[in-house]
Structure 1
């Protein structure tokens, strides 16, 4: 499979000079919807951004299509999360580096000693770093620097856009902290489909429990459901949450298991974890996604 994929890559490289349309703008490819939104905020109309993944797409399991390969071979720069979030794309990015393409992991902006550890990923770190707004601020500054290095003629515009976006992020953090203050500390327990919210939990002092662990590559088993059922009952948790990029069935099974033991629990709503909402909606932006998640969590757990 890997070799046939590289054959496809080689063929596309041969043809990319014929298919590439040059509109004079820097051509940027991004992987996750969160990164796409960030880069669009910084670059504005001065760059052309092509996101590989759409709303509801799980980056843990994502496999690139032929169309994705055309985007990658035509790109001037590729931004991705790193930390093995895009597990099936690691070999592709290594191959791209080998042919002289600029590929940048935005997680390189961070001090690895501050990251949450994980045995589930080859990087040994939890890759869901966008749920720490301070990290997202650092990565925004990092991406701006990289765009300026590649496209220095637009330096002033990139920096202006960055500053506008950073102010919005600072305002968001204050807004969310105020909303979370509505929830007593003993109710700050978040149970979700998979363990994507540890950076959120660390930032806002929540205990976080995920059915599937950090990666969606392995599904939760009966023992996981039984263990978390008892946890919910013991802690008198009112609500659990499904995620837009993870099938609902495991959380629904958990809800049924809890109710079978005469404890009332509800599905408190849908959270956005590994992908933003649909384009053109508030939840289709990083800021709107985070605001939606916090409002949903607080309102359901009160």
Structure 2
């Protein structure tokens, strides 16, 4: 049902990345709420009572899909039988997706790590909004085009800054496998202690394998994630030290959640700018002061 032109559409998004896209596309016509805030792990997130109320009352619900919100999937699918509920990443062509190692027939959900791929998700957000409020189609399309240009600029910056990392240093080791799209896009070898889902366990054998990798490849920096405990990363550092190899934390990356609301890093563009700049700097690349737009904290 189309909302009256004078009312703001009530949009509920599961993740901060989707909420950011909704705000960019919807502009002043939408009121957007993200269920999962900074530092929240979407793989393990379970809906609260207030979430259920918000979802049931929303004009539009936007969720990621690709098994990212594993604990909420049943609820969202059931809700979609009676209300506008759109899994915005499910429409991505399968030939652009990376197969999920842990679940047959599933795909790695972390598509936001490639800005060009995320641009396709923005188009799905746009089309979902047009579907419930066609009177504002021109505005939604105009806003989406402006945001897509921002994402194109971001993609160029990310490629440029990461290209300055020496070839032998292009190994990204973090808490879980959230960076496979990043690695494929920018030519980095990616290793995570846990699997694609943070629900998978990291055993002692996996830690030992990665310590061997760190020592053999002379890796000097590893990365923690804002939404995952740093316990396993510190175990890696200690394991490497026991082998006489010094490795440091190169910085904190945003993997499954953005930065604090109201900050540059609390936007999708700022999140990816932060990640690319931190990774390049820690691994021997050349980066501008405070990132692409000079806005990084």
Would the TM-score normalized by the shorter structure come out above 0.5?
Answer: yes
Q: State the TM-score, normalizing by the size of structure 1.
A: 0.90
Partner of 1:264 in structure 2? 246
Residues 32-86 of structure 1, C-alpha deviations (whole Å, 9 max, x = no match): 1110111111001101111111001000000100110111010111111101100
State the 1:153 CA deviation. 1.2
1:174 and 1:72 map into 2 onto residues whose CA distance is 36
1:161 and 1:124 map into 2 onto residues whose CA distance is 32
Matched, 1:146 2:148: no
Partner of 1:97 in structure 2? 80
Q: State the TM-score, normalizing by the size of structure 2.
A: 0.91
1:288 and 1:123 map into 2 onto residues whose CA distance is 32
Partner of 1:275 in structure 2? 257
1:56 and 1:173 map into 2 onto residues whose CA distance is 24
1:182 and 1:114 map into 2 onto residues whose CA distance is 26
Partner of 1:180 in structure 2? 162
SS across alignment from 2:190: strand
Structure with greater proportional helix content: 1
Equivalent pair of 2:7/2:29 in contact (CA under 8 Å): no
Residues 211-241 of structure 1, C-alpha deviations (whole Å, 9 max, x = no match): 0011100221111110000001101111000
Partner of 1:11 in structure 2? none
Runs of 4+ in 1 over 3 A off after TM superposition: none
SS across alignment from 2:261: coil
- Residues 86, 222 of structure 1: CA spacing in aligned structure 2 closer, same or farther, 3 A cutoff? same
Match of 2:53 among 70, 76, 80: 70
State the 1:123 CA deviation. 4.9
Partner of 1:86 in structure 2? 69
Matched, 1:28 2:8: no
State the 1:114 CA deviation. 2.2
Q: CA RMSD in A?
A: 1.2
SS across alignment from 1:211: strand
Unaligned runs of 5+ in 1: 1-22
SS across alignment from 1:208: strand
Matched length: 279
Query: Which residues of 2 match residues 1-302 of structure 1 at below 5 A?
Result: 24-98=7-81, 100-121=82-103, 123-302=105-284
1:249 and 1:89 map into 2 onto residues whose CA distance is 26
Residues 141-163 of structure 1, C-alpha deviations (whole Å, 9 max, x = no match): 12112211210111111111111
